[in-house]
Structure 1
Amino acid sequence: MPTHLYSFEGFEVRIEDEALWGLVMSRSLGRDLRASRKGVESLILDLLLLGQSRYGREIANGTGSLTFTLRAGEDLRNQCAQCVEGLEVQTFLLTRNQRLIPWIQGLLPEEAGTLEAGSEPPHPRAFPRGGILLVDAMSDGAERSLQPVLGLDGLVQRHLVDPETFRTLSPEEQERAIPIQAPATKSPRSGQLAARKGFGVAITAALFSHVFRRARARSLRWRVHLETDLAPGANRVDGLLHFDSTERIFRAQDLRLDVGWGEVPAVRFKDILGQDELKARFKEHLAWLSDPKGAPGLKASVLWGPPGTGKSMFCQAVSGEAGCPSILVPASQFQSMWSGESERMVRETFAALREQDAAVLVIDELDALAWRRDQTHPWMAQDQSSIMGALIAAIDGLRKGPGRVLVLCTTNQLDRIEPALLRSGRLGETIQVGLPGIEERGAILGGLVGMDLDDQALSELVSLTTGLSPADLLQLVETARKRAVPPQRLSMNILRQVVFESRAGERKRGLHLSDSDKRRVAFHESGHALLAHDLLGPEKVAHLSLMPQAKGSLGAAYLARSEDGEMFDRRVVMGHLAMFLAGKAAETLLAPDLGACGGVEQDLAEATNLAQRAVTAWGMDDTLPPLSFGDLAPTVQHHLSHRVSERIQAWIQEADACARGHLEQNRDRLERLVEGLLRAETLHHPDILAILGTPKNDT
């Protein structure tokens, strides 16, 4: 690489290109190597002061001015070579002389790639930053053409002039010009050493622009150290700059926001189990972020859904897959008690995004910042309107470029978000991240316990965990592994028990029932299980428990949740009503003189609510017209209330008779289930199926 000469008040400093790279990259001076002349003045002064402080006495005894020569060590040369490996430089020639195009192509080094040419400047979006723009100043005149082409300051611009004009230019203008002899018809390409050297310097500057932008996008700088030595018998200090490592730096606004800027999350798509459809949906966004020719602007999505579905982790995975700098910040961090502070943080964060070619902003729990302005308390309305105005203006600013920004937001309460943010062009893409279906749960559980369970056991576990979120599944497996005795592998018995406890809650310690009360509870819960098994399907009964729970119940019969929802027709409604009332009927069957106890309160409430919906909302009663009772005028409701209450009572009585009759006809199966529950205290789906067998009739 060539050597740069700097003069400073009678002193001379010679710096190799590679050493200059190390100085600029370690101090983050200027935008790139093209702006390094002014930027390294402070470095030159530091070097001279260093030389005089270390070798002042020796220099004083010598003659002449001090010369400081700075070279790059082998480790720094290797670092520079690694950084430019694989990089490409695009070159564009702005000329009206078509004969000049093949001539310049022959003079350009191989690193310049294929030459593009035209009579008009390239469009900024079509020509990436870090390229070279060669302007033909020999055709239009040097005075006019030596002016930089506006709008293309991201390119290394050089003006092609003839040697005579080059010698008349000032030193500053010579830095932007390359002397070249005009091509003749049969003139060989000899005598063009100055042109080849100028092209090489331009390519070096363009390559450094790539390296500088890449490091800046990741907030990285180089760590270097300098070794100096005084040349014997001369006023020359030789410096050798060595490369140590890279380190991440922070900016002022990042420290004030207290968020990590430039960090690329370690999470990738492969670390997320399931969510294949969502991953495919974001492939287009990732391709756009990684494409240097991608149209600048904004893409934004709001991921919403219940807690624990993996929205935040998925956003981190998108940031990791993109490989570009990211800001991951909770929305509550933008909130401040000081007036105007929230708006300042919003502006500074989005201003940092505008400095990058490609970046990702993840705002977690967006509803903590951007709630609807019509839901704001009057004493907070002014502040909230000001924050929303700053946020909307910042998002609109990203739509204009100059870089590519992907904004991802998460929320559990989409209806609380300000509608002005959710319109098209801002955060218009809303993506629901719901609870995993059977295939997604299979993929998640397969990744968590696939080595411990066979396919049949895994299929059972998937069916038992309907309605659980990915966070619930992870917690379930972790709890089961803690209970497994090492090196024992996970067993279905442990997993069934953990699933049951996750639904039932913590067991109430210290409560002991008498034998008669325990038998009464066993009859109650077994009645529920028997009716659910026979009328709703054998797959419905998941767990049966005789253990008192902390939430107040003395036992429980848990039904499996439907995967895709359940169609409630008259038969299904009557089956559920009979199941609700089966606990009361079983207690009456055990003790006809005593009847049911107060534990049937919740059963009766659920049965009454379901019967009321069937009669008043679903139009299932044949003796009443098919109408929605709740939408009638109050006077009409009062007129029909007596008939409606009679029909609700009739549905309850029919279901109660169905439950009593079925239990009486299957008394032996009920007794077997009770005895099994008394022995085990907790029965799971396979145990219940083994005890109940086949019903005697299809009541």
Structure 2
Amino acid sequence: MGSTRNKKLILVMLSLGLLTLAGYGIYAWQTHGDRSKQISYTAFMQKVNAGSIARARIAGEEITADAKSGEKYRLFVPAGANLPDLLIAKKVDLTSTPASGGPKWFEIGFFVAIAVFLIVVLRRFTSMGRSRARMIDHAESATRFSDVAGAEEAKVELLDTVEFLKDPKKFSLLGGKMPTGVLLVGPPGTGKTLIARAVAGEADVPFFSISGSEFVEMYVGVGASRVRDLFAQAKKAAPCIVFIDEIDAVGRKRDAAVGGGASDERDQTLNQLLVEMDGFEVNSGIVVLAATNRPEILDAALLRSGRFDRQVTVGSPDIRGREAILKVHAKNVPLHDEVDLMVIARGTPGFSGADLANVVNEAAIMAARSNKERVEMIDFDLAKDKVLMGAEKKSMVLSDKSKLSTAYHEAGHVLVAKLTPGCDPVHKVTIIPRGRAMGVTVQIPEDDIYCYTKEMLVAHLKVLMGGRAAEELIYRTTTTGAGNDLARATDTARKMVCEWGMSRAFGPVAFGHNESAEPGAKKGFSDVTALEIDNEIRSIVTGCYSDVMALLRENMDVLERLSRELFAKETLASAEIDAILGLPEVEDDAGMAAA
């Protein structure tokens, strides 16, 4: 940090020196830029009497004169001299102006500018090392556990943290030491920040909130200074909660071979965070909550005992959790009697709390747009489709040829999903452009799925291949419309080989993935193995594609019939699809896994 202060001081001194030189140069140019020669009053009078002066200008006590020879003179008039009459008598072109205060005002303005600049620079540098955390006083924190739905297990795990904040001494009576660091782990939108606020609200303590990216700056040492300032504020406000969102921005694994090692700004910031957490006194009343959706990339020093030694998983809610979340967000929304939140919850597997909040909000907006007094079930269905598939692009007019091509593509997805065991049921298919997709096939799982079998993943790969296979069978060519399908299929196959041990060639071996690796880090396996992995991924994807091609060839008549109906109606629901395929009607709940 000492070197950082020296750099700041050097920068300020250089700025002051440059401004001083610039000011002196401007002033010197103003005063000497005319290249006039300063002479005495006696010499000037001799030249006037000799008739060698052509023009003269009197400004207060200063005289500037031009000689007939082209020379320029400058002098000051002595007190009591009656110079104008003499100049007029000698036929000198004389002009007179009042004394100018220009140089004096320039000097004052220049030094005022220097002062303002230095104040701005000093404030900038002194504030750069201050924490940018936003503090919410306990009187302003209105969030409680009752406002958090769908995360009951996480709330239970945090109850003792609330008790600790309310009465830190209670836990030290029997020699216990409460964890001072709690890491909230879960996918985006599951309510990690909301839970942290609820802990502060339940404990009735101040809440400091900051993002991990707000620590790091381009200047080395600034992040460490902000960490020190944050914890200095927290110690003054204890008991309190310090919440660091997206801690992986500053807590990523350190590697001395990458990014400059310990001299790197992020590493220094992380080191200071570790030091501050180690410096907590027993039951000091400060709890550090942090949130991340990538715990695998965090430095091991952060997760050891005494720091973030308690991890609380905040996952996607189950069906009961989704219903509870919908009730929370629909609390102030007038609902029609026909609205059944359990039906909506059943049809939204995999939705996070943020997704469900968006569904309720979109439904309310659609109802208001239609001048309804209450939100109806149809509004929720439309809102769910918008959240899942994107808004309809009504302004995009497709030719019949493009519509028919899209219909064959989506019909291929649907038919493979219907004829392949282990696939999720199809809820809806549409060829109306939505978001970035020309068409969407919507599938739903019958129940919440927390673990996938190899058969389920292979079935998913085949559904993804169905669109491209249908295009190739009908048109003897392929389009760019299958690009996203291929990317998802390849990614799934790679995880099957590298992470889940679902490859015949490699068996139960995990090679990991490179998402968490720093640039330049080793892969953990040889180039020969990497080539074999690529071949195995290709084998899985092409194998599924061959099976799909054979399946569609055997059912070309059904593919044609389904495509023509989809082309005519543009959107088909589950019951309509079953009717076209001649399958018995099955009750369907809305949801999605778009292909």
Task: Classify the TM-score, shorter chain.
Answer: 0.5 to 0.7
- Report the counterpart of residue 162 of structure 1 in structure 2: none
Q: Against the structure 1 CA distance between its residues 461 and 418, is the aligned structure 2 distance closer, same or farther, given a 3 Å change threshold? A: same
Quick check: 1:694 aligned with 2:577? no
Matched, 1:275 2:151: yes
Q: Conserved in 2, the CA contact under 8 Å of 1:319 and 1:326?
A: yes
Superposition map of 1:152-551 within 5 A = 257=131, 259=133, 261=135, 263-264=137-138, 265-291=141-167, 293-295=169-171, 299-335=180-216, 340-355=221-236, 358-374=239-255, 377-378=259-260, 381=263, 383-401=265-283, 403-449=284-330, 452=335, 457-484=340-367, 485-508=370-393, 510-536=395-421, 540-549=425-434, 551=436
For structure 1, which segment, 576-585 or 355-364, has the greater mean C-alpha deviation from structure 2 after superposition? Answer: 576-585
Q: Is the 8 A contact 2:187 2:316 kept in 1?
A: yes
Work out whether residues 132 and 210 of structure 2, in 8 Å CA contact, stay in contact via their aligned partners in 1.
Answer: no
- Aligned pair in 2 of structure 1 residues 444, 518: CA closer, same or farther (>3 Å)? same
SS of the counterpart of 2:420? helix
Distance in 2 separating the partners of 1:637 and 1:373: 25
Deviation of residue 287 (structure 1)?
1.7
Q: 1:557 aligns with which of 423, 441, 446?
A: 441
Q: Does the alignment pair 1:653 with 2:578?
A: no
* Larger fraction in strand: 1
Letter of the 1:378 counterpart: G
Distance 1:607 1:319, change over 3 A: closer
- Aligned equivalents of 1:356 and 1:629: distance in 2? 47
For 1:672-683, list aligned pairs within 5 A: 673-674=562-563, 676-683=565-572
- How far the C-alpha of 1:318 sits from its partner, in A, is 0.3
User: How far apart are residue 423 of structure 1 and its match?
Assistant: 0.8
Change (3 A) 1:660 1:405: same
After superposition, the Cα gap between the structure-2 partners of 1:651 and 1:361, relative to the gap in structure 1 and judged at 3 Å, is closer
Is 1:629–1:637's contact at 8 Å kept on the other side of the alignment?
no
The worse-fitting range, judged by mean Cα deviation, of 515-524 and 302-311 is: 515-524
Displacement after TM superposition at 1:313 (Å): 1.3
Structure 1 Cα separation of the partners of residues 285 and 510 of structure 2: 55
Judge which range, 256-265 or 302-311, deviates more.
Answer: 256-265
- C-alpha displacement of 1:452: 3.0
- Structure 1 distance, partners of 2:230, 2:578, is 59
Give the direction of change, closer, same or farther, for the CA distance of 1:573–1:546 in structure 2 (3 Å limit): same
**Deviation of 1:641 (Å):** 11
Amino acid at match of 1:470: G
Q: Distance in 1 between matches of 2:469 and 2:217?
A: 60
Comparing 597-606 and 345-354, the one that deviates more:
597-606
Shift of the alpha carbon at 1:478?
0.8
C-alpha spacing 1:464/1:339, structure 2 compared with 1 (3 Å): same
How far 1:443 moved relative to its partner? 1.5
Alignment length (residue pairs): 433
1:55-92 alpha-carbon deviations (Å, 9 max, x no partner): xxxxxxxxxxxxxxxxxxxxxxxxxxxxxxxxxxxxxx
The answer to whether the Cα contact below 8 Å between 2:464 and 2:489 also exists between their aligned partners in 1 is yes
1:306 Cα offset (Å): 2.0
Q: SS where residue 431 of structure 1 aligns? A: strand
Q: How many angstroms does 1:393 deviate by?
A: 2.6
Contact persistence 2:503–2:536 (CA under 8 A): no
For the residue of structure 2 that corresponds to 1:282, the secondary structure is helix
Letter in 2 for 1:316: R
Closer/same/farther in 2, CA of residues 644 and 373 from structure 1, 3 Å limit: closer
CA change 1:454–1:436 in 2 (3 A) is farther
The separation in 2 between residues aligned to 1:577 and 1:256, in whole angstroms, is 51
Structure number with the bigger relative contact order (C-alpha 8 A, sep ≥ 6) is: 2
**CA 382–576 in structure 1, closer or farther in 2 if over 3 Å, else same:** closer
Shift in Å at residue 544 of structure 1? Answer: 0.9
Which amino acid in 2 is paired with 1:660? R
TM-score (normalised: structure 2): 0.60
Residues 189 and 353 in structure 2, CA contact (< 8 A), matched pair in contact too: yes
Return 5+ residue gaps in structure 2 as ranges: 1-125, 512-523, 586-595
RMSD: 4.5
Separation (CA, whole Å) in 2 of partners of 1:358 and 1:372? 30
Q: Taking every aligned residue pair, what percent have the same amino acid on both sides?
A: 28
Q: 2: CA distance between counterparts of 1:619 and 1:343?
A: 44
Which segments of 5 or more consecutive residues in structure 1 lack a partner in the other structure? 1-251
Contact 1:586 1:663 in 2 (8 A): no
Aligned residue for 2:438, secondary structure, equals: coil
Deviation digits for residues 509-534 of structure 1, max 9, x if unmatched?
Answer: 64322334423422331232133134
Asked if the contact 1:538/1:689 (under 8 Å) is kept, the reply is no
Residues 349 and 536 of structure 1: CA distance in aligned 2, closer, same or farther (over 3 Å)? same
More displaced, 451-460 or 478-487? 451-460
Q: State the Cα distance separating 1:280 from its structure 2 match.
A: 1.1
CA contact (8 A) 1:300 1:428 kept: yes
Q: 1:233 — aligned with what?
A: none
In structure 2, what is the Cα distance between the partners aligned to 1:345 and 1:588? 59
CA-CA distance at 1:321 after TM superposition: 0.4
Question: Aligned partners of 2:527 and 2:272: how far apart in 1?
Answer: 48
Q: TM-score, normalised by structure 1?
A: 0.52
* Partner-residue secondary structure (3-state), 2:291: strand
Residue 536 and residue 459 in structure 1: after superposition, are their counterparts in 2 closer, same or farther (change >3 A)?
farther
SS at match of 1:362: strand
3-state DSSP class of the match of 2:441?
Answer: strand
- What letter corresponds to residue 403 of structure 2 in structure 1? K
Contact 2:319-2:448 within 8 A present in 1 as well: yes
Distance in 2 between residues matched to 1:374 and 1:629, nearest whole Å: 23
